Structure 1
Amino acid sequence: MDENGRPHIPTNQVVLHEDKKYYASAVEVYGEDVETLVMEEDAQPLTEPIIKSVKLRRFQAQEFDLPETVYQKEFMADFTTKPELIRNIAVAGHFGHGKTTFIDCLMEQTHTEFCRFDDKDVRYTDVLYIEQQRGCSVKATPISLLMETTRQKTYLTNVIDTPGHVNFADEATAAFRVSDGVVIVIDAHEGVMMNTERLMKAAMTEGLPITICINKIDRLIVELKLPPADAYAKLRYTIDQVNVLLK
């Protein structure tokens, strides 16, 4: 017996397996007044996880009935047999500068059934679920349109909407490889950004002609509330930045 009156148990004592006690009993844990239920078998099968992960449905939008256009579809199909009348154009720019919305405007001019409800962006070229969910382009998406020049010469234009986020810069670079020219979209309020410079340098490396599209000019009036002279100076400064980069 020890000093507290308890029997002394040697540490090297041999204990049988059925006599070992690894965990406290339910009565010792919860008390005698608590009803406990011990299940011998699992009610939940092993194939079903204990904590289910949140399932996000992945989808991709595909059209089976093409929207009505202002031209005949047979006329557009005939252009595919004339390579000299086909132009591949990449639309690039910094994130959020309005590339996808710019293509929505082209769709609205060439398709009679295309319309924007409640002044919301349709984002016609964002066909992936994650693009619609996050509101940004992830993959470069081409779309074919018939566009006229100022001399009423019609070309089949394959417009490629490229992502503006720097993490998806490889999609824009791949689009430059198959393009005949590039349209650089620049926000009139934010001006030339870091990714804008990178895209322009990539286009110059590929030897592509560059067209500058200054977008969101209304921000100069609505948000900055600039007078006409200051708004002109702001636009002129953006063009000067582009020319310095081209030099």
Structure 2
Amino acid sequence: MDQSDLYDQFGNYMGPELESDEEDDDEQQNGYRHELNNVDQTSDMEDDRDEAEGEDVTVDMSNLSTAVVLHEDKKYYPSALEIYGPDVETVVQEEDTQALTEPIIAPIKKHKFAFVEQEIPETTYDLEYLADIMDSPELVRNIAICGHLHHGKTTFCDALIEQTHPYLASTENKELRYTDTLFTEQERGVSIKSTPFTILLPDLKDKNFLLNIFDTPGHVNFSDEATAAFRLCDGVVVFVDAHEGVMLNTDRLIKHAIQERLAITLCINKIDRLILELKLPPQDAYFKIKHIIDEVNGLIK
């Protein structure tokens, strides 16, 4: 039969009756129902097996609800009544008793920002002899120890103090830092204030002199402490690291000492760094030290 005979001029179907889609849908639904019945049967068999094993896995669906619950009405944790029971009184504190101006974690407060000797220290010489020398101004020397940062000024002062204070020499503290009396100086490892101390030292002929030594800071920001110490001293000892050489602050301190007309003594410190760090042979180490001396002489000229 020609396809054109099955439709009229308006496109309507005029052929024999066809099988409806509803029957196909019914067949599919019947198939689905059959599969669901099989699933229900298997689940019933599993439930029977679980009941036989003594496991109760039944879920009560009556309490479940799909209603929208506000955030304020949600209950995440059990109440105190449920935990402790009605016999226990529970008190809920809704307001803070601590003022807002008071921090929750209070900072550590140090009542003392410096530490000094509480008693007169024990020395290798008699303190009465030290007081008698103070009456002779020709035996008194005021010296300022200056230099760049970390060139060994405070460590040198510790060596002098350990030599005259036997109780400090017996301690096992390698970094004494006796002249750094502030806690901040001890924590940072940098001198901030000029600290004077008085000791009695002999010369090569065993003649004793009273030395008032000022340990000045080497940081540029605390140069005013070195300036104040220079005004009180008769001479300065300039410390220079053998490894680093003459630094910018060393240049400034030498020029300042010349302006104050002070006697300058050069001390080349940390010579062991030439051997341990630079690993220089003796001849090169000699020329390195000679170069530092020539550079300082050039600054003085």
Instruction: Give the 5 Å matches for 1:158-237.
Output: 158-237=212-291
2:139 is aligned with what amino acid?
L
Instruction: Identify which of 37, 42, 45 aligns with 2:99.
Output: 45
Aligned counterparts of 1:113 and 1:188: Cα–Cα separation in 2? 31
The 1:140/1:35 distance shift into structure 2, 3 A limit, reads same
Of the three residues 133, 145, 156, the one matched with 2:210 is 156
Q: Which residue among 177, 201, 205 is the counterpart of 1:147? A: 201
Aligned length: 219
Instruction: Give the Cα separation in 2 of the matches to 1:86 and 1:137.
Output: 25
Counterpart residue identity of residue 197, structure 2: I
1:33 maps to 74
- Corresponding residue number in structure 1 for 2:143: 89
User: CA offset at residue 222 of structure 1?
Assistant: 0.7
Instruction: Choose which of 101, 124, 134 in structure 2 pairs with 1:70.
Output: 124
Q: Contact 2:163/2:169 (CA < 8 Å) preserved in 1?
A: no
1:131 is matched by which residue type in structure 2? Answer: E
SS of the aligned residue for 1:123 comes to coil
Larger helix percent: 2
Matches within 5 A, 1:1-16: none
Letter aligned with residue 213 of structure 1: C
Q: Deviations over 1:57-82 (max 9, x none)?
A: 24311212333222111100111222
Cα contact 1:116–1:122 (8 A) shared by 2: no
Which amino acid is the alignment partner of residue 124 of structure 2?
Answer: V
Structure of higher CA gyration radius:
2
AA aligned to 2:73 is E
- The percentage of counterpart residues that share the same residue type is 54
Q: Aligned residue for 2:107? A: 54
In the other structure, the counterpart of 2:56 is none
Structure possessing the higher relative contact order (Cα contacts under 8 Å, 6 or more residues apart): 1
- The Cα shift of 1:149 comes to 1.9
- TM-score if structure 2 supplies the norm length? 0.67
- Structure 1: gaps of 5 or more residues: 1-26
Instruction: Decide whether the 8 Å contact of 2:141 with 2:211 is kept in 1.
Output: yes
Cα deviation code 1:120-171 (max 9, x no counterpart):
2100101110000101111000010112222332211000000011110000
The whole-number CA distance in structure 2 between the counterparts of 1:116 and 1:239 is 36
Residue in structure 1 matched with residue 6 of structure 2 by the alignment: none
Q: Secondary structure, in 3 states, of the residue corresponding to 2:167? A: coil
What secondary structure is seen at the aligned counterpart in 2 of 1:124?
coil
Report the residue type matching 1:204 in the other structure: I
- Cα offsets for 1:25-74 (capped at 9, x unmatched): xx97x4420579x966432135x524445325243112123332221111
Q: What secondary structure does 1:113 align onto?
A: helix
Q: Is the 8 A contact 2:238 2:266 kept in 1?
A: yes
Distance in 2 of aligned mates of 1:138 and 1:156: 25
- Which residue of 2 is the match for residue 9 of structure 1? none
Looking at structure 2, the residues matched to 54 and 202 of structure 1 have their Cα atoms a distance apart, in angstroms, of 42
- SS of the aligned residue for 1:114 comes to helix
SS at match of 2:166: coil
CA–CA distance in structure 2, aligned partners of residues 117 and 188 of structure 1: 29
Q: CA deviation at 1:119?
A: 6.6
Structure 2, unmatched stretches of 5+, are: 1-68, 78-91
Query: Structure 1 length as normaliser, TM-score?
Result: 0.81
